[in-house]
Amino acid sequence: MELTDLKVFLRIADEGNITRAAEQLGYVQSNVTARVKKLENELGVPLFNRHSNGVTLTEKGRMFRDYACTILNLSEEAVRAVQETPYPSGSLTIGVVDTVHCGHFIKSLSDYQTMYPEVTLSLLTGSSSELIAQVLNYQLDGAFVTGNIPPKLVADYVEEDEVKLLTKSKEQPFPDLAVTKWAVAPAGCPFRSILERWLLSEGIPLTNMIEVSSLETQLGIVQSGLAATLLPTSVLSGEFADMGSFSIPEAFRHTSTSLIRRNDRFRNKAFSAFAELVKVNFDKTEGL
C-alpha cells in the first residue's frame, strides 16, 4: 500500500467520479482505476459502489477513508517535523468562533504578524461544532471554540467568561422570560444550548425566537429592541458596550473559550508561538 494510492482513493471519494479525480490528479484514467483495484485487492474488500453516475463509498470504504486521512496527515506531519526551521515559518490556519472578536485577540493577530512575518496566517470563522470537526479532520491547525471539547483534542489556552442575558439598554428591567423573544444562533451553538436548558428549567420552551447566523446581526437585533439574547460578556465592547446585561442562574452562568488542537498533531514552532502570544495578551487584559 503506497501513499499515492491513498491520495488517489481520497480524491475519488471526494469527487464521486473516477474521470474527474484522474483529471484533477493529472493521471490517465486507466492508472487511477488500476490503483483503486490494487488497493481493493490488498484489502480484500470493495471500497466503491460503481454506478452509471460515478462511484460512492461502500461501508468499508467509509471506514477506510478515516484511516487514509489519518495516515496521510501523519505522513505530512512527519515531513514538517524534520524539515522545520529554527524559527516560526510556513503556514498556520486557525479557526475562530464569532464571539472571539475582542481587542486582545486582534492585538494577538497584529503582534504575531509583526513578530513572525515568515508565517502565512489564515483565519476561518464558523460555529464551535464546525471548527471542532475541522480540527479533528486536520483541516485546521487549531481553533478558538466555546464550550466542551472532545477527548481527541487538547486546549493550549482556556479563557473563562460569564454568560449573561443581554437586552437593548441598561435602563430596561429584567425581562419576563415567558414572553421574551430571543435572537439565537443556529442549532449547535453552545450559547443557544445554554439558553434552551435555562428556559427548560423554568418550564419555558424556546419557541419565540429569531434565528441568525451572524453575531453582529444577532447583537444588532438585540440593540434594536426586537429581542434579547444570551452571550458571553466579552461581546459587550465598541458599539455594543451600552447594552443591558443581567446575571443568570449560577448553573448556566459560566463558559470558556479554548484554543484547541489535535492531541496527536505535531506542535510546530508557528503554532507554539501563536499560542504563547495569545496567552500573554489575554492574561495581560485579565490583569487590567
CATH of the domain at 268: 3.40.190.10
Structurally, the chain folds into a number of domains equal to 3
pLDDT by residue for the chain (288 residues), tens only, comes to 788 899 999 999 999 989 889 988 898 989 889 999 999 999 999 999 998 888 999 999 999 998 898 888 888 877 777 766 678 888 899 999 877 755 567 788 889 999 999 999 999 988 888 999 999 988 899 999 988 889 899 999 888 889 999 999 888 899 999 999 999 998 888 899 999 999 999 999 999 999 998 888 999 999 999 999 999 888 887 788 889 999 999 999 998 889 999 988 878 889 999 999 888 877 655 544
Last residue of one domain, picked from the residues 83, 115, 141: 83
Among 43, 66, 83, give the residue marking a domain's end.
83
Of 83, 105, 128, the residue at which a domain comes to its end is 83
116-119 own/partner pairs: CB under 8 Å, 24+ apart:
116/87, 116/88, 116/89, 116/270, 116/273, 118/85, 118/87, 118/88, 118/89, 118/90, 119/88, 119/89, 119/90, 119/91, 119/92, 119/270, 119/273
Same domain, 102 and 118: yes
Instruction: Return the pLDDT at 93.
Output: 94
Does one domain contain both 102 and 241? no
Place of cell 481587542: 103
User: Do residues 21 and 66 share a domain?
Assistant: yes
Does 64 share its domain with 198?
no
Q: Angle of helix 3-15 relative to helix 29-43, nearest 10 degrees?
A: 110
- 261/156 same-domain check: yes
The cell numbers describing 208, all together, are: 419565540
What pLDDT does residue 264 have? Answer: 84
Residues 146 and 262 in one domain: yes
Using the structure block, give the residue that is written with the C-alpha cell 487514509. Answer: 68
> Are residues 212 and 187 located together in one domain of the fold?
yes
Co-location of 166 and 245 in the same domain: yes
Give strand pairing partners of 184.
211
Kindly list the distances between the CA atom of residue 23 and the CA atoms of 28, 40, 131, 163, in Å, as whole numbers in the listed order. 7, 21, 30, 51
At how many degrees (to 10) do helices 18-25 and 3-15 cross? 130
Q: Return the CATH number at 52.
A: 1.10.10.10
pLDDT of residue 189: 85
SS (H, E, C) 93-162: EEEECCCCCCHHHHHHHHHHHHHCCCEEEEEEECCHHHHHHHHHCCCCCEEEEECCCCCCEEEEEEEEEE
Note whether 270 and 280 are same-domain residues: yes
Phi, psi of 176 (to 5 degrees): -80, 110
pTM for the whole thing?
A: 0.67
264 shares its domain with 232 = no
73 and 100 in one domain?
no
Task: Locate 207 and state its grid cell.
Answer: 419557541
Whether residues 106 and 151 share a domain: the answer is: yes
Q: Residue 62: which domain range?
A: 3-83
